[in-house]
Structure 1
């Protein structure tokens, strides 16, 4: 049975009881579509491509419809073009030679008077353009970046992103054009322009230096969003246009990295974002998180870094596991930048060791070991030993090694070092690695005055738990 409507085909597939029934229907329908294509049945082309895309979504072969998609794109009707371009994006990729046949249609439609048809061509190119197509149509995209229509400018910026990914040497075509877009009043154009600038800066050091002079413009746009009143169009839970805010913060991160002068200009606006953004909702936390990453990536002053670490400290008290995990992860990276500021949140980190979520416990454990130093080794080791007593078995091998290493590096005296290792052996002796045991024996042999003390401690430990006797040999 041949289904003349997409709706009928979907209904038939959904009613199948077995996979074999579904395959039988798809095979018959694919055969009927192939026959229709061979007969050049133009009236059924739209419906056939619709059904073929559904078949493609189900995972069945559908590449035989590629040329028919090109024929739909050549149609003057918008609906035909829309489905044809969708088919091209789904059924073709940049490695297929058929893609070169699309170039002429893309070029013609980029000159079309309808912004929606021009948008379809730009969208298709932005998704599947190969390096050859990018070179052929680069000038067209550059021209459309200066279009009077905001919708077309937005699509052209996204298309330019694809071009510089495929052919980085073409980025010079867009540098001057995109600078103007930073002052665009349209939300979508600004969002795509900032994304394009960020990518241009990543691709070329020379371009990065050129865009650093635009830092005041980026700061001005960010300040205008912070101080803007309620705008229902782009407001999310009371935050004005959070998507653009996040993109601007990421751009500042790139522009300020390794540049003291640019970073100095950013300090004020980053302080405003960090102090004025409401963290009661996830959208606010997302902006605060990006602000923290930006502060840590640029050459910010000490006070601002402390503020960033304090924001992460607040995240640790959040009920949302995802936010706490992100905070622990970021604090771990921050240790290399500002060890002292992170130390202030040591107690909160230790509380996370007892979290119900194993991923939180794992991150908290990593951070706890990173926090250990000469000043806090006694306190931290006591907490880590308490956690070792109830820790999951998968944690114990790594924990025993890390605790022994910390004791060896920061021990205030040999006696404390010996006590700590014996405590580890009592709690998880079967998980201690041979290297750690060898290190303990060296320690004992080198401290003759503590031989009697060590033997007594080990004897008492064996009396308490004879299962550790293997380590006494």
Structure 2
């Protein structure tokens, strides 16, 4: 059924949507593919308009999940069409159907290059999008220099330069060895000075890719990133279209802070002070509100700021602020925010000395062990384990032993190991350590590894003063109606080790 005009495409889509089942749909698609194949064989009789229509149908069939193994040549040939409607279809369908290793792409390289270096902005954008989407090595080798020229060209409009920057990000990530970025530091610094926030945002994505590969070349960009953050935090010269729920370009703020984390330090005192003022403003100005979208954006900025504060090893006062803020987050109802709060508290423990401040939130963290969401319970467990020391070990181990009774099987082995490690590391006295391990075996014998009960036997064997108490405790557990095999082994060892005099007491 070859219908003239784009009406044919609409009818085909309606036919597919009206199919009663998958089999009917497959028959209709096979029929259409057969028709397209026949028409392409007689290509001489096809107008560019008809070719465009059939290539659109191919794309629709591909999007439905069917294999389209012909017609690629026709799609690629539309890229060189002189008119926009045909050229657009050629670019879109080629980038969807072909991967970077497809032979037909070689046929298109010259046409794509002509569009990139040409004066038609619309064609430039189509070409840059294709190169960015496919990102193959051949494209990088042949076209990267032209794309770089577009990015730094003062005669190009921001729209084209944005696409050029994003295209280079993809080419660089895929083929860093092919791209020539020597002496690009000054150019990148200039790009971050641009007034157009779209160009700055795209250039910042490129900078993140470059500094993640080698930050040494880009020290001149560091103060520029701080200036961008200052501009956004003060809402200076930020157009309305770059403001999201009242937040000035949150995605650019995140990227700028991400770029800064690739530099090991900030030595210039003025730059460092300016950055800390920005971070302070972010920490003070972020709260949980009812609007989910606003929350998502402001928290994306906040958590990146926290990561940067940790990276820069900020002053204790700022760390305290960060922990206080995270303490608020672990108490809210929204589970995603609670998760991020716990995760970031754990990260702060690993990089800075904030244990005492985090301890203030111990009760709330323990409450998170009872959260309905297992991922939050896991984060709470990691955090409690990390924040444990001599002063709070008794409380935390007690809570973890209680939690053991209700914890999922998948968590019990890890939980048992963590309890055993904490009990041994922070035991105020050895009798408490024996108590904890025997309780642990009693509650979760199947999940207690041999190493754990070997250790307790070792302690009892090497400490005569501990033996009477250990024997008494072991005897109490043996009197229970149902005991675990591991408990039998431990008790047998302990009772076998004790001296006769203390043994007598224990058995009485």
Fold-level similarity (TM above 0.5): yes
Aligned residue number for residue 208 of structure 2: 198
- Report the Cα offset of residue 426 of structure 1: 2.6
Query: Aligned partners of 1:283, 1:265: CA distance in 2, in Å?
Result: 23
SS of the residue corresponding to residue 369 of structure 2 reads: helix
The alpha carbon displacement at 1:277 in A equals 3.5
Report what 1:368 is aligned to: 384
Aligned in 2, Cα 1:470/1:285: closer, same or farther, shift over 3 Å? closer
Name the SS of the counterpart of 2:410 in structure 1. coil
Residue 448 (structure 2) pairs with residue 438 (structure 1): no
Aligned-pair CA distance for 1:264:
5.5
Tell me if structure 2 keeps the 8 A contact 1:63–1:91: no
Name the residue aligned to 1:273: 282
Alpha-carbon separation, structure 1, partners of 2:481 and 2:381: 27
Answer yes or no: is the 8 Å Cα contact 2:76–2:94 preserved in 1.
Answer: yes
Distance 2:28 2:162 in 1: 42
Count the aligned residue pairs.
Answer: 469
- Of 127, 134, 137, which residue of structure 1 is paired with 2:140? 134
Q: In the alignment, which of 182, 187, 199 is matched to residue 197 of structure 2?
A: 187
- Map residues 295-334 of structure 1 onto 2, 5 A cutoff: 295-334=309-348
Structure 2 counterpart SS, 1:354: coil
- State whether residues 250 and 297 of structure 2, in contact with CA within 8 Å, keep that contact through their aligned partners in structure 1: yes
- Kindly indicate whether residue 257 of structure 2 is the aligned counterpart of residue 243 of structure 1: no
Deviations 1:104-123 (A, max 9, x none): 11111113333121111111
What is the CA distance between 1:361 and its match in structure 2?
A: 0.7
Check if 1:123 corresponds to 2:129.
yes
1:172 and 2:188 correspond: no
Where does residue 13 of structure 1 map in the other structure? 16
Asked whether the equivalents of residues 442 and 487 of structure 2 are also in contact (C-alpha less than 8 Å), the reply is no
* CA distance, structure 1, for counterparts of residue 61 and residue 83 of structure 2: 24
Verify the 8 A CA contact 2:438 2:487 in the aligned structure 1.
no
Q: Offset at 1:380?
A: 1.3
**Aligned-pair distance for 1:265?**
5.1
Decide whether the 8 Å contact of 2:477 with 2:483 is kept in 1: no
Backbone CA RMSD of aligned residues = 2.2
Distance in 1 (CA, whole Å) between partners of 2:472 and 2:219 is 67
Once the two structures are superposed, residues 192-235 of structure 1 have per-residue CA deviations (whole angstroms, 9 ceiling, x without a partner) of 0111111111222432xxx3233332222212212227853222
2:495 corresponds in structure 1 to none
TM-score (normalised: structure 2): 0.86
Q: Are the equivalent residues in 2 in contact too, given 1:216–1:265 (CA < 8 A)? A: no
What residue is the counterpart of 1:76 in the other structure?
A: 82
Relative distance call for 1:72 and 1:296 in structure 2 (3 A) is same
CA contact (8 A) 2:189 2:220 kept: no
Find 1:288's aligned residue among 302, 327, 334: 302
Structure 1 unaligned spans of 5+: none
Match of 1:61 among 47, 62, 67: 67
Q: CA deviation at 1:167?
A: 3.8
Say whether 1:155 aligns with 2:155: no
Cα 1:11–1:103, aligned 2, differ >3 Å: closer, same or farther?
same
Check 1:432–1:96 CA distance in 2 against 1; reply closer, same or farther (3 A cut).
Answer: same
SS of 1:375 mapped into structure 2? coil
The aligned residue for residue 226 of structure 2 is 219
1:45 corresponds, among 37, 47, 51, to 51
Please list every run of 5 or more consecutive structure 2 residues that lacks an aligned counterpart in the other structure: 290-294, 490-508
Contact 1:55-1:62 within 8 A present in 2 as well:
yes
Which position in structure 2 is the counterpart of 1:36? 39
- 1:360 Cα deviation after fit: 0.7
SS at 2:262 equivalent: helix
Cα distance change, pair 373–392 in 1 and its aligned pair in 2 (3 A): same
Q: CA 1:347 to 1:263, structure 2 compared with 1: closer, same or farther past 3 Å? A: farther
Residue in structure 2 matching 1:449, options 452, 460, 465: 465
Q: Cα 1:199–1:225, aligned 2, differ >3 Å: closer, same or farther? A: same
Change (3 A) 1:251 1:167: closer
Cα distance between partner residues in 1 of 2:118 and 2:207: 27
Partner of 1:389: 405
SS of the residue 2:261 aligns to: helix
TM-superposition CA deviations, 1:40-92 (whole Å, max 9, x none): 11231011010000111122222422211122111111111111100110111
- Provide the C-alpha distance between the structure 2 equivalents of 1:450 and 1:299, rounded to a whole number of angstroms: 44
